[in-house]
Structure 1
Amino acid sequence: MPDPRLALFVHHKCGTVLLQNVFRDIGESRGWYYRNRRSFSRGFPSKAGITMFSHSLWEPAARPSPMRGVHVVRDPRDVLVSGYQYHLRTKEPWCSSTDFTGSSPTAIPYIIRHRSDDFLEAYRADLAGQSYQARLNELDRRGGLIFEMDHFARWTFEAMEAWDYERDDVLEVTFEELMSNFDDTFARIFTFMGFEGRLFEEAMETARTQDLSRKSEAEIEKMGHVTSKTTSRWRDILDEGLLDEFRSRFGDLPERLGYPAA
């Protein structure tokens, strides 16, 4: 187990699969146990050396372990667009399920499984007997984007806003930095986590195998979570009416996270 433990705090459509692939491979090469916590969590899994918190729904344990982590955010407008496009076609079970029964209901996404029964019942009512994916696909693009705003995008933005950006044991990074300056950004991450010498070089080699800019278009087409090498598409998708809908719900959230208003 590495000391300190390593933590990856991400949000939906903010480089989750990229960081998972890089750090899972690093963990396997070093014998460090990798875990992914998709729901709300306190502290670390007992045996994990590397833990990904897929929605950054995390609170420190009463006796926190020494930790070095990275937290990744993305322009919320691109989170909205990318999430909408992903949910139209993903094969994740929750997205195509209508099963709200049992001890672990398939139709409830992990990001809201810790919410109250009243909240989950309201979500179920919003689906009107359909799956999330079916609901999106019956709507036109404008309606689908507004539905996404009111559901998965909203939940993601709430987690982004709740995050503590002042932690000195977590490096803040943007998805845009990862995409535009891949090698230097991963070098910052690995250096912050204490990687040196051979470990640092091997980690950089591992990371480069996941760099989209180094992949062919044919390779991109085979990746279920990626549709394009283009990092930002919100300006092409969100017209002024949709931006008004966004602002009426989330105000100046992009600016609060360090992104330009337009």
Structure 2
Amino acid sequence: MKHNVVVTTHHKTGTVWMSTVFKAIARSVGANYVDFWTQYDRLERALRPPFVLFNHDSTFVRHAGVLRRPDVRILHLIRDPRDVLISAMHYHRTAEEPWLLERPPGNDNAPYRERLNALPTEFDQYVFELENSTSSTIEAMLDWQYDRANCLNVRYEDLWQDRSMELWTRILDFLGFEESEQEAGRTAFWANSLFGTAGRTQRSHARSGEAAQWRHKFTPDLARAFVERFPEALQELGYEKDDRWIEEIEREAMVHQA
């Protein structure tokens, strides 16, 4: 490895996928794999080079200095916020993560999962998710500093389509993996991708992983609710040039009603 590596994602942007891939890569090349939040209070001691540091929500707080280290290269993964919303809502309805099941401290509200499942329609559940957990995820994607010279910003959708692993090989090269290490990197990527070896086994965490699920799930009402909450997010993240995508959804809805 020519550089130490930082891999940073956001909730429902390929977090489990990338953590599994990079754990396998670190093991293959003899690097020290470090989970950012598990090691947060002792991170300086945990970062023994060569290391692969993984952060599942792209918030570094008092450890932001690691992103400026001259010996570090960063992979930052984002996803279409509309698909983040869909994936997060369905995941949060059944997931067993403690924060979903516990009553918020100092708050009389029911646990998150209970409140979500109590809502009468899928539309209401999407809006609840949009205004709560997914709101934080979208804001974090918007707040990321995208002009870091040592960072490669990659879309989940582009990785999902990368069956030839051409993009993945460019990523490995940018991160500083030697040519002799890149084959192990490609093997790890394919073995842990839903369209590769992992697709032939049961993966309880992921629903499908497909890109652009929003085209089949968004109604005109949900599209308008999304834009009301995040009017410029899709343009800022490069997923849309304008709001004409809403008109396409409206036309599609009219066809189904006819």
TM-score by length of 1: 0.81
1:6 aligns with 2:5: yes
The alpha carbon displacement at 1:46 in A equals: 3.0
The alpha carbon displacement at 1:155 in A equals: 0.4
**Correspondence for 1:233 among 208, 213, 234:** 213
The alpha carbon displacement at 1:141 in A equals: 0.9
The alpha carbon displacement at 1:168 in A equals: 0.7
**Correspondence for 2:156 among 175, 197, 207:** 175
Partner of 1:16: 15
The alpha carbon displacement at 1:45 in A equals: 4.1
Pair 200,61 (structure 1): closer, same or farther in 2 beyond 3 Å: closer
The alpha carbon displacement at 1:196 in A equals: 2.2
Pair 42,149 (structure 1): closer, same or farther in 2 beyond 3 Å: farther
Partner of 1:56: 58
Pair 43,176 (structure 1): closer, same or farther in 2 beyond 3 Å: farther
Contact between 1:38 and 1:55, CA under 8 Å: does it hold in 2?
no
Contact between 2:192 and 2:198, CA under 8 Å: does it hold in 1?
no
Q: Structure 2 stretches of 5 or more lacking a match?
A: 246-258
**Correspondence for 1:153 among 134, 137, 143:** 134
Q: Percent identity?
A: 28
Q: Which SS does the other structure have where 2:225 is aligned?
A: helix
Pair 216,159 (structure 1): closer, same or farther in 2 beyond 3 Å: closer
Partner of 2:71: 66
Of stretches 158-167 and 52-61 in structure 1, the one that deviates more from structure 2 is: 52-61
The alpha carbon displacement at 1:198 in A equals: 1.7
| CA offsets 1:158-207 (integer angstroms, 9 cap, x no match) | 11111000001010100001101141221111010111222111111111
Q: 1:12 & 1:62 partners in 2: Cα distance?
A: 20
Partner of 1:116: none
Pair 22,258 (structure 1): closer, same or farther in 2 beyond 3 Å: same
1:243 aligns with 2:248: no
TM-score by length of 2: 0.83
| CA offsets 1:26-70 (integer angstroms, 9 cap, x no match) | 11223322122249x799543231111111002225983521011
| CA offsets 1:193-227 (integer angstroms, 9 cap, x no match) | 111222111111111101211247662xx212211
Q: 1:137 & 1:203 partners in 2: Cα distance?
A: 40
1:195 aligns with 2:194: no
Contact between 1:42 and 1:61, CA under 8 Å: does it hold in 2?
no
The alpha carbon displacement at 1:232 in A equals: 1.9
Pair 80,43 (structure 1): closer, same or farther in 2 beyond 3 Å: farther
Q: Structure 1 stretches of 5 or more lacking a match?
A: 101-120
Superposition misfits of 4+ residues, deviation over 6 angstroms: none
